[in-house]
Structure 1
Amino acid sequence: MLRKTILALLVAAAVLIAIPLILVPIYTFAPIHPVSTLILRDHFTFRPYLREWVDLEAVAPVMRYSVIMSEDGQFCRHDGVDWGEMKAVVTDFLDGEETRGASTIPMQTAKNLFLWNGRSYIRKGIELPLALYLNLVVSKARILEIYLNIAEWDTGVYGIEAASQHYFGRSAVDLTARQAALLAVTLPNPAGRNPAAPTKRMNALADRVQRMARASGEYVACVKPQ
């Protein structure tokens, strides 16, 4: 009985490893529109949701820059993991201090595609190799395109096009710098933040993101329009 259980666990682990190994190369092709685990959950449980895929070229450049500068300032420079930030998190943990988030856009994309929500060191440990693999196989521009199209901006609202229409009644390509900044600062807490009715705290965060996006320069070179 124990042998059968161990064998079943090994087979399950092999399948879970094989899924991203197979799918990530497929996701490099532009006609493929990946979905997140949350979108799959909503689909198979018949929950209503909004999602409309748009290519990166159909997203206002200022939206791209705002998300990068808000979520992962070293996006164009790291290998999928910001090791400086990760080291700081580990140091804080070992010192008994409250840890901060160190998830990069590739890490968040890998989590959205293959893993589950919630804070967990197990999940974080799985995220790291997935993010490195994703970054190795997929271009930065394509990673950002996938991320922007599967991120959740409100309950059942997935992707930047659906979010733009939902909150501002306009397409993602027509977003203003202010709207882009407000959408970017909504990402860490989509259930508790409303970019169409920002709080004082949200406006302060958006001010900072707007300034960083305006001065982003080479930090966003990998996703600038060609």
Structure 2
Amino acid sequence: MEARERLIVGLDVPTVAEAEEKVRALSDSVVFYKIGYQLVFAGGLEFARDLARDGKKVFLDMKLLDIDNTVAKGVENIAKMGMSMLTLHAYPKAMRAAVEAAAGSGLCLLGVTVLTSMDAEDLIEAGYNDTPQALVRRRAEQARAAGMGGIVCSAEEAAAVRGIVGPGMAIVTPGIRPAGAEKGDQKRVMTPAEALKAGSSHLVVARPIVKAADPRAAAEAILAEMTDALKA
């Protein structure tokens, strides 16, 4: 894959009008977009359909988790929307139900392991005894066993996860920050080049692009860094 197919721009903006503005500004530089809760609850599902109809790839970041039947029915409908990727929390029963529901659709299901905004103290507070790294590895093993299309994890865990899932599964890493950029609420971050070298297949970048004075220039600078890393 070329760098453009690996860069996913997170449209973490409050309105569809602002999302449309960002897509116009990015023009043909970006072909893959992430739509999450903020935009979904502001009319973003129809916007996601429109992007797919216009030939863009859409990563619907819904982090599904529910009883098996509810997860399956949701996945079936999302597959019909033409989405390229969909997240669900990497719980084994939910993943197995989703994989069965998505069979034959071309929808890439991604298991969310440990959010990149969480560290060891956050996991302890949530009732887990594992470190983030140990829990990511366990979830990766379970996702592979369930037949998932890929994993969402921090770039810090990408190398370990790649060793677990092999070359065929996607490793999608949020928390990507160009050198010198603010971390914001992310705690486990890497630069684009570092993440690709670590084994990530797709990079999710939101604020460094959508909040930039010139989003297209910011995206193209990241794409140039990614291209150089892929050549190396």
Q: TM-score range by the shorter chain?
A: under 0.3
Would you tell me which structure has more strand in proportion to its own residues? 2
Larger relative contact order (CA 8 Å, sep ≥ 6) = 1
Q: Which has the larger radius of gyration?
A: 1
The normalised TM-score by structure 1 is: 0.27
Would you tell me which structure has more helix in proportion to its own residues? 1
